[in-house]
């Protein structure tokens, strides 16, 4: 479905990420944790048992997701769909598109970090834009910051996601310009 020539949301934003100042060994550990936790959360969304059981440090974050999921999700519509905007020429893989109790259609992005990162606003606004390209009438957009102790996750809503898209759009245009892709 996607065009490999199109950059991902992550690729477009990586130059603005605060992770460049973090030691490589710390980043690698966080990437392993993020991959394992996302996998566990997606397994829950599919209604499957966790097997093999993840290590304790990861398991508590997955239990945090499970608590939230059981209390709030009516239906899982998509898990990491590849969405492409062929006009603006970018793609992305939002974590989850869900129907949530009392919230309607939700775009949720799972986070294993302990603190909110400003770059997440641009990331979520880009994912929201991609869902609009596919005609999804998303009611709520949020980051789901999983609790490292297994408690309920913190929900960080993105109010007015369309308003925040301009930051991503300008980063995308700069990316296209400096990589030689035609700027619209």
Please give the model's pTM, rounded to 2 decimal places.
0.90
pLDDT in tens, 37-80: 999 999 999 999 887 777 777 999 999 999 999 999 999 999 99
Q: How far is CA 125 from CA 44, 52, 68, 110, in A?
A: 25, 34, 23, 15
What spatial distance separates the first Cα and last Cα of the chain, rounded to whole Å? 22
DSSP H or E run through 175: helix 165-179
Res 23: pLDDT: 78
Measured between alpha carbons, how far is 17 from 36 in angstroms, rounded to an integer? Answer: 22
What is the structure's pLDDT at 2? 45
Using pLDDT thresholds of 50, 70 and 90, give the confidence band for residue 116: low
What pLDDT is attached to residue 3? 44
CA–CA gap between residue 94 and residue 131 (Å, rounded): 9
Return the closest-CA partner of residue 65 out of 155, 146, 148.
146
Rounded to the nearest angstrom, the gap between the alpha carbon of residue 130 and the centroid of all alpha carbons in its chain is 12
Among residues 67, 80, 61, 69, the alpha carbon closest in space to that of 45 is found at 69
Indicate the domain borders of the chain: 9-179
């Amino acid at each position: 479905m996607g065009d490999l020539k199109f950059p991902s949301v992550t690729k477009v934003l990586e130059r603005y990420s605060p992770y460049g100042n973090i030691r490589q060994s710390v980043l690698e550990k966080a990437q392993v944790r993020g991959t394992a936790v996302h996998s566990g959360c997606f397994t829950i969304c599919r209604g499957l048992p966790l097997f093999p059981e993840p290590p304790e440090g990861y398991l508590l974050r997955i239990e945090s997701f499970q608590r939230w999921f059981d209390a709030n999700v009516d239906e899982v519509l998509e898990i990491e769909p590849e969405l492409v905007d062929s006009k603006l020429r970018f793609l992305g893989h939002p974590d989850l598109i869900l129907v949530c109790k009392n919230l309607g259609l939700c775009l949720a992005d799972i986070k294993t970090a302990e603190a909110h990162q400003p770059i997440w606003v641009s990331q979520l606004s880009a994912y929201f834009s991609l869902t609009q390209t596919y005609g999804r009438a998303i009611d709520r957009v949020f980051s789901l910051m999983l609790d490292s102790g297994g408690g309920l996750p913190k929900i960080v809503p993105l109010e007015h996601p369309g308003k925040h898209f301009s930051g991503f759009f300008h980063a995308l245009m700069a990316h296209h310009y400096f990589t030689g892709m035609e700027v619209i």
